[in-house]
């Protein structure tokens, strides 16, 4: 019988669900002049969240660290193969295929807003707007693959991965648990995002 263990710290969970909200917000408001300011604020927040995630990937808790889930392409292919042929390989933190998707989402979450910013400031011709839109579509496709991975992984391992990203808890070996949840940092993040919104809506 496996224990219920803490896997995702508070900052990782707050990062994730703010990202979901802002990604949805930036898509819903895209293409509308009326909601451009909200679009821009959501985009800035995504950028800030990704900068945070880069730092947290270096200095965060065990399963949030890049070193714990970034693996070569062979490991990602091996994991997908294990899902298709069984038995599905199990990871307490992110699996190697998920790791690739996360790395790419971080990259897109940084460069899509940069091209949005260039477009917003009208520094170049149409190409920046076109690149911004293409990157946004690539990001959306990746999110679709991410959701597919979450559903397939949840079914294969009979565990609700989305619920774990909410509660922080999974079933696993006690030796894999993280000792601290870093709630104070999540609070700092929420205040930081609030200030970013206040600033971006008023400039
Ligand atoms: C309602 C929709 C979503 C659900 C249910 C969901 C669920 C999850 C779950 C369960 C994980 C952990 C996967 C694992 O156990 O290895 C995860 C991680 C992640 N998801 Fe999502 N996701 C959603 C939408 C999104 C969106 C829209 C984005 C990007 C814009 C996104 C980006 C990420 C990232 C970057 C991680 C890595 C988290 C970290 O380690 O910091 N997700 N998601
Ligand atoms: C990851 C975050 C973002 C996503 C997913 C996103 C998505 C999109 C999409 C899909 C469009 C095309 C809308 C259309 O013409 O139908 C668009 C347009 C636009 N975005 Fe973003 N965006 C993001 C961040 C930003 C940021 C940070 C800014 C500004 C600082 C920005 C500024 C703009 C502007 C000015 C346009 C209009 C471009 C035009 O003239 O066609 N976006 N965005």
The CA–CA distances, whole Å, from 115 to 14, 123, 195, 196 equal: 25, 10, 23, 19
Q: Which ligand is nearest to the CA of 60?
A: 1
| HSE, side-chain direction, 13 A CA sphere, residue 192 | 18
Which atom of ligand 2 lies closest to the CA of 114?
27
- The two structure tokens encoding residue 10: 């508070």
Cβ atoms of 126 and 132 within 8 Å: the answer is: no
Which atom of ligand 1 lies closest to the CA of 19?
30
Say if ligand 2 is within 6 A of residue 29 CB: no
The tens-digit pLDDT sequence of the chain (203 residues) is 589 999 999 999 999 999 999 999 999 999 999 999 999 999 999 999 999 999 999 999 999 999 999 999 999 999 999 999 989 999 999 999 999 999 999 999 999 999 999 999 999 889 999 999 999 999 999 999 999 999 999 999 999 999 999 999 999 999 999 999 999 999 999 999 999 999 999 87
Pocket test for ligand 1, best of 15, 104, 150 (most atoms within 8 A of CB): 150
> Fold for domain 3-198?
Fumarate Reductase Cytochrome B subunit (1.20.950)
Distance 123 CA to ligand 1 centre (A): 33
């Amino acid at each position: 019988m496996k224990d219920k263990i803490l896997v995702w710290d508070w900052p990782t969970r707050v990062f994730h669900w703010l990202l979901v909200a802002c990604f949805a917000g930036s898509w819903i408001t895209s293409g509308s002049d009326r909601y451009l300011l909200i679009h821009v604020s959501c985009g800035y927040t995504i950028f800030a969240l990704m900068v945070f995630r880069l730092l947290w990937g270096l200095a965060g808790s065990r399963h949030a660290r890049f070193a714990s889930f970034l693996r070569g392409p062979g490991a990602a292919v091996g994991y997908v193969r294990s899902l298709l042929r069984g038995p599905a390989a199990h990871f307490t933190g992110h699996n190697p295929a998920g790791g690739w998707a996360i790395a790419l989402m971080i990259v897109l979450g940084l460069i899509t807003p940069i091209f949005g910013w260039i477009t917003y400031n009208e520094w170049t011709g149409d190409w920046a707007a076109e690149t911004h839109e293409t990157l946004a579509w690539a990001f959306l496709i990746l999110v679709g693959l991410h959701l597919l991975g979450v559903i397939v992984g949840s079914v294969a391992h009979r565990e609700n991965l989305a619920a774990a990203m909410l509660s922080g808890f999974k079933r696993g070996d006690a030796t894999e648990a993280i000792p601290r949840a870093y709630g104070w940092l999540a609070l700092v993040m929420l205040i930081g995002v609030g200030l970013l919104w206040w600033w971006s809506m008023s400039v």
